[in-house]
Chains A and B, each alone.
Chain A
Amino acid sequence: MNIKKILPQLLTLLAVILVFGFFTYNAQVNMENRGIAFGYGFLSQESSFDVQFSLIEYDGSHSYFRAYLVGLLNTILVSVIGIIFATIIGVVVGIARLSNNYLIERTAAVYVEFFRNIPLLLQIFFWYFAALRALPLPQDTEPMLGVFYLTIKGFFVPAFIWNNLDVFIYSVIAALITIFFVKYYARKKQENEGKQTPVLLISIGLLIILPLLSFLIGGASFTIQVPVLDQLSQNSYTYKGGLGLPPELIALALALSLYTATFIAECVRAGVQGVGKGQKEAAASIGLTPNQVLKLVVMPQALRIIIPPTTNQYLNLTKNSSLAAAIAYPDLVLVFAGTALMQTGRAIEIVSITMLTYLSLSITISIFMNWYNKKIAIKEK
C-alpha cells in the first residue's frame, strides 16, 4: 500500500462527494425554506389532464406515472419510426452519393448539404406549419387508394379489428424460429457438402404459410374498419373509425428522419469508400458475382466503419425527438416534463426522472449497437 498513490485518488473522491453533497444539501435547505416538499408520491396521484395521442389506454383519471408511460412510449414510437426511415433514406442517399451517374450523385449531394445545414427546430416548424397549411381540410380530402385520407387533422388509415390476434402472433413467431433453424442447417450443409439451399424462398414461403394456417384452422380473423367522414359542425369535419395518426407525429418523424438521414448517408459513403479497391478486384477475380462481391466482401468491411458513427446518429435522433414540445406532439418532454411538471410543480423530481429516462434510452441503444458492432467486427483467429 502506497499512501502517495492512494491519497490523490481519495481526495478526488472526497471532492466529488463534497461537491455533490453541497448541491444536494443546498437544494434541500432552499426548498425547505420556501416550503417546497420533496418526494415521488405524486406519481400515484390522479393526473387530471388528457393527452392527444397515446399508445396505451389513458385519460385524466389515470396516475401521473401512467402519463409518464404515455410520454415515454410516444418518444420511443417517434424515435423508432425516425431511426427506420433515417436508415433507409441514409443508405439509399449514401450509395447514390457514390453513383457514377452525375445527376443522381449531384441530387444526393445537394440533399445532404441542404438538410444537414439547417437547424432541426426550423425544419420541424417548416414541416409542421407548411404541411398544415398545404394539407386539405377533412371534407375536401381526396382518398388515396380509396381508404387513406391525408388531412390537416391527421393521416387516417383503415384499422384492423382482430379476433384471436394472439394465434396470429404465435404463428409469426413460429415461422421466424423455423426460418432461423432452416438458415442454420443450410449453412451447415454448405460447409459440409458445398450444396446451396434456396433459404430466401423457403423463408418467404414459411412466412406466408404459417400465418395463413392461423387463419384457416387457428380461428384468427380480422375485419377492416375504414375511416368515415363525420360532421362536427356546419363546416368542420373529422374522420371516425380507422386509425388516425396525428399530423404532429408525421411532421416530427419526417423532420427527424430527413435531418438524421443526411448524417447517416455520409457515414455510409465513408464506409463504402473505406473499403480498398483491391478488395473488390480480388473478389471479382476469384469469380464472385457483383452481388456476392457487395454482400460478402464490401458490406461486411464497410459496416465496421459505418456502425459506430451511425450509433451516434441514432442517439442524436432519439434526443432530438424532445423538440416535439414545439409542435404539440405529446412526447416525454411535453407530457411529463411539461404538463405534469406544471400541474404538480415538482421540477426537481420530474426533471431528474426525465433525464434518467433519456439516459437509459440512449444507453440501451448504445448497448445494442455495440453488441452489433462486436458481432460484425473482425474476429482475429
Chain B
Amino acid sequence: MFKLIKLLTSLFAVFAVLVTFSTGSMAAGKSKTLKNTTKKGFVRCGVSQGLPGFSNADAAGNWTGVDVDVCRAVAAAVLGDASKVKFTPLSAKERFTALTSNEIDILSRNTTWTLSRDADIGLTFVGVNFYDGQGFMVRKNSGISSVNDFKDGVSACTNLGTTTELNMRDFFNSKGIKYEPVTFEKADEVVAAYDAGRCDTYTTDKSGLAAQRIKLSNPDDHMVLPETISKEPLGPVVRQGDSVWEDIVRWSLNVMIEAEEYGVNSANADSMKSSDNPAVKRLVGAEGELGAALGLDNDWSLRIIKQVGNYGESYKRNIADTGILPDRGPNELWTKGGILYVPPAR
C-alpha cells in the first residue's frame, strides 16, 4: 500500500511539472513571445495561401506583400534582420486556431477586425494596415453595372468562413434577393468555379477581387462593381495576453506609416538622424528612448525603415506597381486625403 501511495505521489508530481511547463507563467515580467522569438532566431508569421499584393510566394519561395512586410518589420525590430521570418500559409479556417494554439506569433493575413473576433476568441488586433471593403465581380457582358441589377436566383461564389459570408447575407437580405451561396475552402477553387461559369458573381474584399482577377483566363472580360457593401479594416493579429508583444507588433506597423508621414524612407533614413525635426529624430532613434519601453534597442525603428521601408514604399512595391490597385484610395495618409492616421511615436 505504501508503494502505491509513493507511486501515486510521483505520478502526480510528474503531472504537475508537465502542467507548469506547458502553461508557463505569464507574469514573468518579460514577454514570453519575445523571449521565444529571440531564442528561436526567427519570427513565426501566419500568412495567406497566396493573395498577390498581400502575401504571395514566388517560384523561389520568397514571400512578398504588405501583410508580409508587417512581419518583416517585426523581425527587423526584434532580431535585426527583416529576412528572419518563417511564413506559414494558412486557410481562412485555420488561421485563428494556428495563432491561439501557438503555432504562429503574428497573424498577418488580410484579416478583418471585428468586435467578436477581438473580444471573444482570445485574439487581439493591433491595428489596420489596409482599409478594404467587400465588392462584387461580374462578367462585363452580363449587363450588370450595379449591385441593384442582381435578381432572385443569382449564384455567388466566395471563400468559406470569412466575414464575406455574413456581409453577403446581410446585403442580399436587405435587398430582398434570394441568392445561392457557393463557398469554397481555398481561393483558387473559388476563382476556378467562377471562371467556369458556376457562379454569376464572385464576392470578397475588393483588394482580393483585384488580385484574383489576374488569375482568371480572360481578366479583361470581368469587372468589379463600383459599390462597396461593407467595412473591412484588415490588420495583423496577436494572441491575447502578451501585451509587450502586442505593443511591438502595433508600433512596428505604426512606425512604417509614421515614417511615410514624415518623409523618411529606406534611402534617406540614415541621413535623417541629423534632421531638425525632433519627431523625425525620434523615429530614427537619434533622440529619446522609445526602444527601451518596448524592451528593444534604440535602433529598432531605424532598422524597420531601412530594411522594409515605409508604408508608402511597401504599398507601391506590392500593390501599386503590380497593377492590383494603383490608386491608394482610403489607404492614403490622412494628410493626403486618405484615412491612414496613427498615434504619434513619442
Task: Write the residues of chain A forming the contact surface with B, with a CB cutoff of 8 angstroms.
Answer: 7, 11, 14-15, 18, 21-22, 25-26, 29-31, 33-37, 48-52, 60, 129, 132-133, 137, 152-153, 230, 232-236, 238, 240, 246-248, 325-328, 330, 334, 338-339, 341-347
Residues of chain A within 8 A of B29, CB atoms compared: none
Across the interface, which residues of B come within 8 angstroms of A132, CB to CB? 193, 196-198
Neighbouring A residues of B143 by C-beta, 8 Å: 233-235
Assembled-state Cα–Cα distance A347/B18 (Å) = 24
Q: List 8 A-B contacts (CB under 8 A).
A: A26-B22, A33-B26, A49-B166, A49-B169, A50-B179, A240-B153, A339-B165, A345-B120
Task: Find chain B residues with CB under 8 A from A343 CB.
Answer: 161, 165-166
Contact residues in B for A18 (Cβ distance below 8 Å): 11, 15
* Minimal beta-carbon separation of A8 from chain B (angstroms): 12
Partner of A325, one of B19, B173, B185: B185
The B95-147 residues at the A interface (CB cut-off 8 A) are: 96-97, 100, 116-117, 120-122, 138-139, 141-144
A342-B185 Cα distance, complex, nearest whole Å: 11
**Which residue on chain A has the smallest CB distance to residue B197?**
A152
Q: Is the CB of B19 within 8 A of A22?
A: yes
B141: contacting residue among A22, A235, A334, CB under 8 A = A235
Q: How many residue pairs, one in A and one in B, have C-beta atoms under 8 Å apart?
A: 151
**Cβ B11 vs Cβ A14 within 8 A:** yes
Q: In the complex, which residue of chain B has the Cβ closest to the Cβ of A48?
A: B166
Q: Is B160 an interface residue (CB 8 A)?
A: yes
Query: Do A31 and B142 form a contact, CB below 8 Å, given A14-B11, A327-B189?
Result: no
Alpha-carbon distance A60/B166, docked complex (angstroms): 9
Nearest-CB residue, chain B, relative to A345: B121
Residues of chain A lying within 8 A (CB to CB) of residue B239: 34
Query: Range of interface residues on chain B?
Result: 35 or more
Instruction: Check B142 against A236 for contact (C-beta < 8 Å).
Output: yes
User: Is A129's CB under 8 angstroms from B200's CB?
Assistant: no
A330 contact set on B, CB distance < 8 A: 183
Q: Is the CB of A129 within 8 A of B196?
A: yes
Contact with A22, one of B15, B96, B162, B169 (Cβ below 8 angstroms): B15
Q: Mark B220-247, 1 if CB is under 8 A from A, else 0.
A: 0000000000000000000111000000
In the complex, besides A15-B11, A49-B169, 7 extra interface pairs with C-beta distance below 8 angstroms are A26-B22, A34-B100, A34-B239, A34-B240, A36-B100, A137-B197, A325-B160
A36 to chain B: closest CB distance in Å?
4
Residue in B100, B166, B181, B192 whose beta carbon sits within 8 Å of that of A51 in the complex: B181
Q: Which residues of A contact B154 (CB under 8 A)?
A: 232
Are B122 and A326 interface neighbours, CB within 8 A?
no
> Counting CB contacts under 8 A, is B180 at the interface?
yes
A144 to B340, CA, bound (A): 58
Q: A51-B181, A52-B183, A343-B161 are in contact. Are A25 and B240 (CB under 8 A)?
A: no
Residues from chain B with a CB closer than 8 A to the CB of A240 are 153
Residue of B nearest to A42 (CB): B120
Q: Which residues of B contact A248 (CB under 8 A)?
A: 182
B93 proximal to A (CB < 8 A): yes
CB distance from B28 to the nearest CB of A (A): 13
| Cβ contact within 8 Å between B181 and A341 | no
Asked if B271 lies at the interface with its beta carbon under 8 angstroms from chain A, I say no
| A30: min CB distance to chain B, Å | 6
Chain B neighbourhood of A48, CB < 8 A: 166, 169-170
What is the CB-to-nearest-CB distance from A231 to chain B, in angstroms, rounded to a whole number?
Answer: 8
- B92 near A342: Cβ-Cβ < 8 Å: yes
Closest chain-B Cβ to A246's Cβ sits at a distance in Å of 8
B149 within 8 Å of A by Cβ? Answer: yes
